[in-house]
Structure 1
């Protein structure tokens, strides 16, 4: 018989030194971003917008594929919907463009709800193809709606009322809010009790459902949240571009960036999506002049990681130094429970 002492020296650790440092740095970056218009150039502001939107969209795709098991190649549907909603609200309905950015989230959410009920019976590659078909359907519909100026696209002419400084301050502030909502929101979600359910669903949806996890409801919620985050990023991005058309708004390249960043960085990890986006962003800046050659290299890198490091570059970095930035798991720290009697053979006395 085995007896375990009721007094234990075990505690649950949720933060590490590296995560505390990373969270502090992340908060400082978010606080510094709105000040960039006073010390950074216009080119750097454009870089900020592009990088922030990529990180936000990659985090949404990572949440969708890495935890809900919903591999989408049609997130551009919601990015374009958010962008077009901004232009309609600002140019057609006379809403202040800065107020129209958060209101634009309504459009991708409104599209995501019926879209999920159309796609929910599909699984695996069929679900992925279905999302791409829906994205193409939205693009074709947009290109044939005169109210949206059809294929010619729309211009955000109302932004001419504001000075360049005002536009840059607004864009920088939106980028800070976007990163806080997407990265911080995903981190908060995964550390909540819903995060435990998402992790269980990621590892084995059948086993998770047998333990009481409502897999169908969680997948629906994650699908809608990913659409909302992607739509918000689309609104911020196309506000900076001042123009949108069906080809750019529903560009499939958005999904390609998400897949590359998350697969190479590390699927199912917040840090992985960030590392993957940073790699892609700076690779395009440094090697974009070589045309298709660097794209071939990025493609080969994706294949290499998928075959030999399925956990992504972040998992390789953790093997060198176990310094997580955004840990969402729980670790037991301390001494194990003390045994009073130990294991005894049958018939043995103390």
Structure 2
């Protein structure tokens, strides 16, 4: 019996391709790189007051993005991330002021504190669910505040001043702050973008949509939530140490101020949870509103709260969600799209 060879299937390139980048994404990436360069060279084009304002905005962006990772992907709604900001801030002051370590080196050493503290805190709280987890994170932040108020090494409730910064000129401090701002955004925003585009990002998106289904498909939900919690703690610690270095003073009330959690929630809810674009939009809205209407005190906070409530009720995807429904032009695309190959 003669066997007839069957030809293989057509080996030409497929008619569809997997696309992970878009034209809007390439434009946004170019602008982001230019923005980071602009931040790094601020001392040569901006005043000290402008640099301090930009630094504050960068801290809002970093903290909000860390909260966005926690709530938007890991499903961990924390209202106590200020615990890690204050812990890193105090670590910086102790290392620089008490032990004489260069303050710009101490910033990076201070990140060990939130990284170490986040491990036992997570294992203490991870069994709590929903609002109980949120309340637990707030309680932890208050414990940190009370502890700092009674620790002699941090001057108890009187707080600490970073007097060693007088050894550096104003220009040197501005250069350091500008570089740290660029580094902070590169780590928090750039790191988040890289993570979401990796295979871990696919697992995070699956976990966000349905943790039970993700676990049934092999995603280690518990491990991912733990890693995200620690990473968010370090990111908030970085923002805290940079912010309080610029302030030159830290107290228990300012270090562990729950207002940071409120700001992060407002930014993410208004801008759009689960998106980097939403964090940028929400941060700009809060920053401008704070500059224009912050003098109105309690009334101003009531308005911000009502805005958050209205968005949560009627536009849960935030401003960026409304925009993306009308125009499919993501700034930081993380989806994989099938497109027809041009012949």
2:325 match: 319
1:90 match: 96
1:192 match: 198
TM superposition shift of 1:288: 1.7
2:235 match: 229
1:15 match: 21
TM superposition shift of 1:58: 0.5
What runs of 5+ residues in structure 2 fail to find an aligned partner? Answer: 1-8
For the residue of structure 1 that corresponds to 2:339, the secondary structure is strand
Find the aligned partners of 1:129 and 1:299 in 2 and give their Cα distance: 19
Superposition pairs of residues 51-130 of structure 1, within 5 angstroms? 51-130=57-136
Between Structure 1 and Structure 2, how many residues are aligned?
Answer: 332
1:306 and 2:274 correspond: no
> TM-score when scaled to structure 2?
0.95
Residue deviations 1:93-145 (CA, integer Å, cap 9, x gap): 11100111111100111110110010010011000000000000011011100
TM superposition shift of 1:5: 8.6
TM superposition shift of 1:168: 0.7
Find the aligned partners of 1:250 and 1:293 in 2 and give their Cα distance: 23
Find the aligned partners of 2:145 and 2:305 in 1 and give their Cα distance: 26
2:225 match: 219
1:50 and 2:50 correspond: no
Find the aligned partners of 2:299 and 2:259 in 1 and give their Cα distance: 17
TM superposition shift of 1:276: 0.8
1:261 aligned to which of 248, 254, 267: 267
Find the aligned partners of 1:300 and 1:207 in 2 and give their Cα distance: 35
Residue deviations 1:269-325 (CA, integer Å, cap 9, x gap): 111111111100100111222222232222111111111111011011113322210
What runs of 5+ residues in structure 1 fail to find an aligned partner? Answer: 336-350
1:285 aligned to which of 277, 281, 291: 291
| Structure 1 vs Structure 2 CA RMSD | 1.3
Find the aligned partners of 1:21 and 1:163 in 2 and give their Cα distance: 37
Find the aligned partners of 1:247 and 1:297 in 2 and give their Cα distance: 24
Find the aligned partners of 1:333 and 1:239 in 2 and give their Cα distance: 48
Residue deviations 1:63-95 (CA, integer Å, cap 9, x gap): 011000000000000000110111011011111
1:297 and 2:327 correspond: no
For the residue of structure 2 that corresponds to 1:223, the secondary structure is helix
The range that moved more, 187-196 or 318-327, is 318-327
